Amino acid sequence: MLRLEGLEKRFGDVVAVSDLWLDVGRGELLTLLGPSGCGKTTTLRMIAGFETATAGRVLLDGRDVTTLPPQRRGTGMVFQNYALFPHLDVHENVAFGLKAQGVPRADIPRRVERALELVDLPGYGSRKVQQLSGGQQQRVALARALAPEPPVLLLDEPLSNLDAALRERTRSELRALLKSLGITSIFVTHDQEEAFALSDRVALLRAGRLQQVGTPEELYLEPANAFVASFLGRASFLPARVVAAEGEIVVCELSGGVRWPAARGGVDARPGAEVRLMLRPEAIALTADGADGAGSLPGRVTERQFGGATTLYRVETPAGEVLVQAGARAAAQGDTVRLHPADASAPRVYPATEPPSR
Amino acid sequence: MGRRFAVGRPLIAVLALAAAACTGGDGRTPLVVYSPHGRELLTAFEQRFEAAHPDVDVQWVDMGSQEVLDRVRSEKANPQADVWWGAPAEMFTAAASEGLLEPFAPTWAAAVPAEMKDPRGLWYGTYETPEVIAYNSKVVTAAEAPKDWDDVLDPKWKGKVLIRDPLASGTMRTIWGMILDRSVRETGDTAQGMAWLRRLDAQTKEYVLNPTLLYQKLAREEGLITLWDMPDIEALQAKTKLPIDYTIPTSGTPLVVDGIAIVNGAPHAAAARQFVEYVGGMKGILLAAREFMRLPARTDIPPDSLPERLRWAQAQIRPEPLDWARLQQQLPGWMRWWDEHVRGRSGG
Amino acid sequence: MAPDTAPSAEAARTASGTGAERSRRRSSRTAVLAAVVLALLLWLVLYPNLYVLADSLRMSGRWTLAAYARFVRSPSELGALWNSIWISLASVALSGLVGVPLAFLFTRFDFPGRRLLAALAAVPVLLPPLVGVIAFLFLYGETGFITRGVQLLLGLRAPPWRLNGPAAILLVHTYTMYVYFYMFTSAALARLDPAQAQAARALGASGPTVLRRVTLPLLFPAIGGAALLVFMTSMGSFSAPYVFGGGFRVLTTQIFVSKLNGTPEDLALAAVEAVVLAATSLLFLGLLERLERGRAYTGAGKGIAPVRRRGAADVGAGVVAFLVVLVLVLPHLTVALVSLVPIGTWTTELFPPRLSLVNYRLMFTEPARLRPILNSLSMATTATLANVALAVAAAWLIVRRSFRGKGLMSALVVLPWALPGTVLALALATTFSVHAPWLGRFVLVGTAAILPLAYFIRDIPLVTRAALTSFRQLDPAVEEAAASLGAGPARTLGRVVLPLVLPGLLAGALLAFVTALGEFVASILLYTHATRPISVEILSQLRAFDFGAAAAYAVLLIVVMAIVFGIGQMAAADDAVRRGGG
């Protein structure tokens, strides 16, 4: 449906996006995720036609649209600040695209009303844009983009201006709506939780380069590199040395001599290689000191963050600092504890040289 | 599309304006006259002339004679005026030397004395304008009023003299020229004249922007004495009944030759010739003399056809002989020197 | 590059060719528009002034620095330069001292009639230049109402003062120019976030400290802008020094004197004086910009006025405001009174003995008297429309596009501010009096085009500034939204951009229209019989000693200006409401 082939965008000497290849299937909901400045918005704007790629192609339904101006691409767009036309009322806003595309005058009121019904704002046509709440404005922006029935809908952080509770509710409504319409959608966000909740697939970008694309589960459980791992959820990285490797499983020795199994994850980890071991907080079990010490990492709780459903413990170990998720009463600050891997596949190894930055 | 449309607009506007500039009026030949002679005189001549020449539409532009010269200069490449009517002879001489005027020989040319016209027929004197001493006749009686230039320096007028800004006024420049020319004639340089002007500066309460303000201030008794020209004061008396009268200086007064000329490259030269012919012709001269107290430059006007008051004035006037050639050359420098070294230096 | 035979691995690179082409095509369209606008600006704004510069370096056909040498050696020329500068600086200081406190008075205190008085406090802007000077004569001149009133009241034999010299110039300048400070500061105060002042108070700062350390610095951009305008206007001011100076020399009057003297040396000197005048103004512009750089605080303020409590201070403020406004409207009342005086009926009386509407009747019934009104209206309209078109194009380019020469364009659109009207008129008269199309020179002097052209050039900064502000406030996403909905550039411009920038643009355009309507300094040098505008007719009536007729025109101008400003205010208020929620 939508295909990006080696897309690149330079602003002078600065490379905003480089060599981006991506396929989005019909009806799929894909999120471009990444920290600010990673090039996700630039990519979206190249798809929409607001920026022209300095290299590569954008294909819509097999049609090369790389050089087409935005108004001739047929992509709908919802803007971060909604960009509603302040001089027009709700009806006129939603009708704008229909008029621009030459929809017969008689059909317009019906299609506007249908679009407003989709976003649950029936009968709001005569309202002034300023009279609407933030959430309502967001929905008008969505209705405006949907009214011309674009083959592809682009959404640039459309939920970021809503407050937390409303954002969460809108998120699931939005996904349900887009899925029911079967419209191909590309969604830009920097919020990992939002990306997971909304998308069929997530494309994670960093500094203009695609890091990994896949379902939320794939990205979280099998991050392609340390950046992906640390950007999506919490992770601790411990320096380690591979002592044995068999199939997808390797055994690493942490400093202090403790040996833990880990998933290889495509890393070239022959015995003797220096690696880093990535540990998710929920993939580690924490027990009080004095229990069976074999294969477990001793440590001391330096910080305890109570978070309601889960509690995070920061544990100082000879191998380094580890974040652990456990029950609210599992330990107290200052306690000596022991850590074990909870699931053999959960820890993963990554090359020692890759920066674990976030 | 829209962007091109946005830039196109000013260009179109400019072009439209240029096109509009080329269109004419109501079918009559427009005759543009630049003149400082004032609304009343110009309106009277416009009506009489148009009655005699119904195919011509006289459009006068009322401005000071210096401004006229300035205008004619800057419009040299594209003359707008047909006739320049009214300015001291030396201004016409300057314009003639710059090639701004067009020669013409009206039927009455011979009646104008040689020193009051251009030998090549580039301009002709129409009137002689005497400079006079004017005063507020409500406060100052005719007996008290200064009789001659030196009387204006009398201590009793200190702080009561108003002077029209001399740099901007042809009339005042002529008076200044006379004072300085006298000085050169009598002593060989301008020192004596400048000393006289310095004493006048000490008497002067204010240099006034324009004639209107001058009349107003004089009438409102902000000052009592001024130096000005006769026809303007006569016209003022006739029009406004302001309490302003004048005396003709006894030691002599410059008679400014006031002229008329056709602008070089005048767009409507034929009508311009008709107009000049009319102004200097007997009808025009008598109209100006009888209704506007203009002393004719022509020597062939029978005295009994002139109004009594004008004949009285003629009898009073002692023409001051001036070296016009010297003035034309030197006066700008003298005026500048006066402006920088005399004006306002004596605590006016 | 061989697109048709390129293997698939190179498809991307091939596509990169077309992509680059596309962006080149788009930026080349920008470049063409930018080139057209730049060329127009260079031709009309910069080019004519080069001829003035050339004139200052040329005498009797030879290139020479003689005129500059004469300028530098002449104490009176240097004196005039110094006078121009200190009068302008003093005008800035005095106007600021009046305008800024007045703005505080009307935004920080509450009293009955505050809104009406606040509107009336801007009335000096409604006084056409020449008329204002004459009104001052009638009021404060030696035999003026106020002067005579004070004289009678105190039983003085002589008038208590003379409206003369630098003090008189400064009085007139302050009266006419404080409005810039007043309007700019009022607008900035309305935008100011009260939270900042409250934060300072919470940190223990006293009232005066907050004013000095927080409020005034935040107002700096507005005050700086006003200071710049006042300085420029004051440098270019001619009527006030000419009428009230009493021989007090400033550069503008020196230009006039040199022009009148008319010898080749004097004409070259006039050009030098014009060059010096323009250079001084540009220098000040540069200094202020340097000073302002890095000081452009974007107000995050919600524009909520501080909570007002009516108290004793408010009563005092109300009384002061009422008195101030009374003084401010006196010239207008004077002009209105004088307009009722039939010619020749008022000489030495304190008040005119006879009043009638004859001047108004004549103005509308005599074709010759009606003509200047129609001329001014049509020429101001033409100029303003052209201003709007240019301003939209230039502002769109400057705000939305990147292209070579953007800095030059930004400088050119403010340049006419730094060039006094006399200099501009001189430049136009020089440049457009010769037919030399290959040099970009056409004979426009004496045609109907020259005055609208002069108005157009003078008002470029005014309208472009308004357009720039509007475009900067316009969210670019709104244009993109229109494009993403399938609207082409024309529809986007017509249905989205213009309606949104219109209110701001309208305010600038109306101001330009009003300025053009009353323009005098350039008009007097360039008008023809067929195009004489109201201001020249006023002068002509004054020459004919018909104060009544002149004042009637002035009243007409004031009324038209007031109406136009009313419309502008309503448009602005409308816009504020519209933007308020969004």
DSSP B69-87: HHHHHHTTTS---SEEEEE
* CA–CA distances in Å: residue C40 to residues B249, C34, C49, C380, C386: 59, 10, 14, 20, 12
User: Would you state the pLDDT for residue C196?
Assistant: 67
CB contact under 8 A, B17 and C449: yes
pLDDT at residue B77 tops 60: yes
Residues of C in Cβ contact (< 8 Å) with B38:
543-544
pLDDT band at C84 (very low <50, low <70, confident <90, very high): very high
What is chain C's mean pLDDT, rounded?
80
Q: How far apart are CA C124 and CA C114, in angstroms?
A: 18
Of the candidate ranges A206-220, B124-138, C349-363, C379-393, the one whose mean pLDDT is the lowest: C349-363
Crossing angle between the packed helical segments C547-581 and C312-338, to the nearest 10 degrees: 140
- pLDDT single digits (tens) C414-463: 888 777 787 888 888 888 877 888 888 887 877 788 899 999 999 998 88
The conformational region for residue C405 under phi > 0 = left, psi -120 to 50 = alpha, else beta, is: left
Q: CA C384 to CA C53: how far, in whole Å?
A: 28
| Best mean pLDDT range from C19-33, C73-87, C540-554 | C73-87
What letter represents residue C49's amino acid?
N
pLDDT surpasses 50 at B201: yes
Q: Min CA distance, C464 vs chain A (Å)?
A: 22
Min Cα distance C563 → chain A (Å) is 25
Quick check: A85 and C481 CB within 8 A? yes
Interface confidence (ipTM) of the complex: 0.81
Secondary structure letter of residue C482 according to DSSP: H
What is the DSSP code string of B20-65? HHH--SSSSEEEEEEE-S-HHHHHHHHHHHHHH-TTEEEEEEE--H
| Predicted confidence (pLDDT) per residue in A228-263, tens digit | 988 988 889 999 999 988 888 888 888 888 888 888
C251-261 helix and C264-292 helix, angle to the nearest 10 degrees: 160
Hey, which residues 256-295 in chain C have their CB within 8 Å of chain B? 256-257, 259-263, 266
Query: What burial class does residue A104 get, using C-beta atoms within 10 Å of its C-beta: 0-12 exposed, 13-18 middle, 19+ buried?
Result: exposed
Considering the domain boundaries, does residue C576 fall inside one?
A: no
Which residue among C16, C21, C477 sits closest to A56, beta carbon to beta carbon? C16
CB contact under 8 A, C15 and A66: yes
- CA atoms of C441 and C48, how far apart (whole Å): 9
Residues of A in contact with C480 (CB under 8 A): 48, 50, 70, 77, 79, 83
C350 touches chain B (CB under 8 A): no
Q: What is the pLDDT of residue B1?
A: 35
Q: Beta-carbon neighbour count of residue A343 at 10 Å? A: 13
3-state secondary structure of C275: helix
Is the pLDDT higher at C24 or at B172?
B172
Q: Find the closest chain C residue to A129 by CA distance.
A: C582
**C403 φ/ψ sector (left φ>0, alpha ψ -120 to 50, else beta):** beta
Q: Which residues of C touch B76 (CB under 8 A)?
A: 433
Rounded distance, CA A126 to CA A132, Å? 11
Beta strand A236-246 pairing with A249-254: antiparallel
Residue C488 touches chain A, beta carbons under 8 Å = yes
Contact A7, A180 (CB under 8 A): no
- In this structure, what CATH number is given to the domain that contains residue C185? 1.10.3720.10
One DSSP character per residue, A89-146 reads: BHHHHHHHHHHHTT--GGGHHHHHHHHHHHTT-TT-TTSBGGGS-HHHHHHHHHHHHH
Residue of C261, C374, C378 to mutate for B, most B C-beta atoms under 10 A: C261
Q: In sequence order, what are the beta bridge partners of C436?
A: C441
Beta strand segments in chain A, E: 2-11, 14-24, 29-33, 55-60, 63-64, 75-78, 152-156, 184-189, 201-206, 209-214, 236-246, 249-254, 259-263, 274-279, 284-288, 297-307, 310-317, 320-326, 336-341, 348-351
Is residue C119 one of the residues assigned to a domain?
Answer: yes
Interface test with C, best of B209, B210, B335 (most C CBs within 10 A): B209
**A175/A198 Cα distance (integer angstroms):** 6
Taking an 8 Å cut-off on Cβ atoms, the answer to whether A55 and C19 are in contact is yes
Q: C242-291 pLDDT, tens per residue? A: 777 766 889 988 887 787 777 778 888 888 999 999 899 888 888 877 77
Q: Is pLDDT at A268 greater than 80 in this prediction?
A: no
Residue B342 is inside which H or E element, if any?
none
Mean pLDDT of chain A: 88
Question: Which residues, other chains included, contact C8 with Cβ-Cβ below 8 Å and sequence gap of 6+?
Answer: none
Residue A53 and residue A61: Cα distance in Å, rounded?
A: 18
Q: Report the interhelical angle of C498-518 vs C534-543 (nearest 10°).
A: 20
Residue C277 resides in a domain: yes
Q: Look up the domain containing C115 and give its range.
A: 84-126+164-338
Which chain B positions have a beta carbon within 8 Å of C266's beta carbon?
332, 336
DSSP of B179-244:
HHHHHHHHHSSSHHHHHHHHHHHHHEEEEESSHHHHHHHHHTTS-SEEEEEHHHHHHHHHHH--SE
Q: Nearest by CB to C448, which of B20, B167, B215? A: B20
Question: Could you give the 3-state DSSP secondary structure of residue A151?
Answer: coil
Decide: helix, strand or coil at residue A10: strand
Q: Does any CB of chain B come closer than 8 Å to the CB of residue C530?
A: yes
**A-chain residues within 8 Å CB-CB of C475?**
81, 83
pLDDT at C225 over 60: yes
Bridge partners of residue C283, in order along the sequence = none
Q: Contact B70/C262, CB-based, under 8 Å?
A: yes
Q: Is residue C9 part of a domain?
A: no
Is residue C509 in a domain?
Answer: no
* Separation between Cα atoms, residue A324 and residue A279, nearest integer Å: 9
**Looking at CA atoms only, how far is residue B303 from chain C in angstroms?**
30
pLDDT grade, residue C579 (50/70/90)? Answer: low
Q: Give the separation between CA B158 and CA B162, rounded to whole angstroms.
A: 10
The neighbour count for residue A164, using CB atoms within 10 Å, is: 6
pLDDT at C544 over 90: no
Region C378-401 average pLDDT: 91
Residue C419 included in any domain: no
Q: Are C328 and C120 in contact (CB under 8 A)?
A: yes
> What pLDDT is recorded for position C300?
40
End-to-end CA distance of chain B: 67
Q: Is residue C189 part of a domain?
A: yes
Highest mean pLDDT among B256-265, C123-132, C519-528: B256-265
Q: How confident is the model at residue B53 (pLDDT cuts 50, 70, 90)?
A: very high
- For A130, which of C26, C486, C581 is closest by C-beta distance? C581
Residue with more model confidence, B63 or B180 = B180
Q: For the segment C154-169, what is each residue's pLDDT rounded down to a tens digit?
A: 888 877 877 778 888 9
Q: Do A83 and C475 touch (CB under 8 A)?
A: yes
Q: What is the pLDDT of residue C432?
A: 86
**Which pTM does this prediction carry?**
0.77
Nearest CA in chain C to B14: C449
First to last CA, chain A: 32
pLDDT for C297-328, tens place per residue? 444 444 444 445 556 777 788 888 888 888 88
pLDDT at C580: 46
One-letter amino acid at A43 equals T
Chains touching A (at least 3 CB pairs under 8 A) are C
Percent residues over pLDDT 90 in chain C: 13
The helix/strand/coil state of C13 is: helix
Q: Subunits touching C (CB < 8 Å, at least 3 pairs)?
A: A, B
Query: What is the three-class DSSP state of C129?
Result: helix
Residue B193 pLDDT grade (very low, low, confident, very high; cuts 50, 70, 90) = very high
Give the other-Cβ count within 10 Å of A181's Cβ.
14
- The domains located in chain B, with CATH, are 11-128+257-316 (3.40.190.10), 129-254+318-341 (3.40.190.10)
CA distances from C129 to C191, C358, C538, C558 (A): 31, 24, 11, 11
Number of B–C residue contacts, CB under 8 Å: 187
Task: Categorize the per-residue pLDDT at B21 as very low, low, confident or very high, splitting at 50, 70 and 90.
Answer: very low
What's the rounded mean pLDDT across residues C342-367? Answer: 80
Give the residue-averaged pLDDT of B262-271.
93
User: What span, in angstroms and rounded, lies between the C-alpha atoms of A229 and A188?
Assistant: 19
- B346 or C320: which carries more pLDDT confidence? C320
Model confidence at C21: pLDDT above 60: no
**pLDDT for B117-167, tens place per residue?**
999 999 999 999 999 999 999 999 999 999 999 999 999 999 899 998 888
Distance from CA of C209 to the nearest CA of B (A): 47
How many Cα atoms are found within 13 Å in the side-chain-facing hemisphere of A192?
A: 16
Task: Give the C-alpha separation, C395 to C408, whole Å.
Answer: 13
Q: Please report which confidence band the pLDDT of residue C490 belongs to, taking 50, 70 and 90 as the band edges.
A: confident
pLDDT at A357: 45
**Residue in A81, A96, A130 closest to C482 by CB:** A96
Distance set, CA C316 to CA B204, C113, C178 (Å): 46, 14, 22
The answer to the question of residue C300 being in a domain is yes
Residue C469: predicted pLDDT: 80
Residue B109 banded pLDDT, cuts 50, 70, 90: very high
Q: pLDDT tens digits for A143-158? A: 999 999 999 999 998 8
Say how far apart CA A280 and CA A324 lie, in whole Å. 8
Q: In 10 A of CB A80, how many CB atoms?
A: 18
Chain C residues whose CB is inside 8 A of the A53 CB are 15-16, 19
- Residue found by looking up tokens 């019904």 in the block: A117
Angle between helices C367-400 and C406-418 (to 10 degrees): 150
Interchain pair A87, C500: CB under 8 A: yes
Cβ contacts (< 8 Å) between C481 and chain A: which residues? 77, 79, 83-85, 144
N-to-C CA span, chain C: 50
Is residue C211 scored above 80 in pLDDT? no
How many domains does chain C contain in total? 1
Q: Quickly state the pLDDT bin for A112 (edges 50, 70, 90).
A: very high
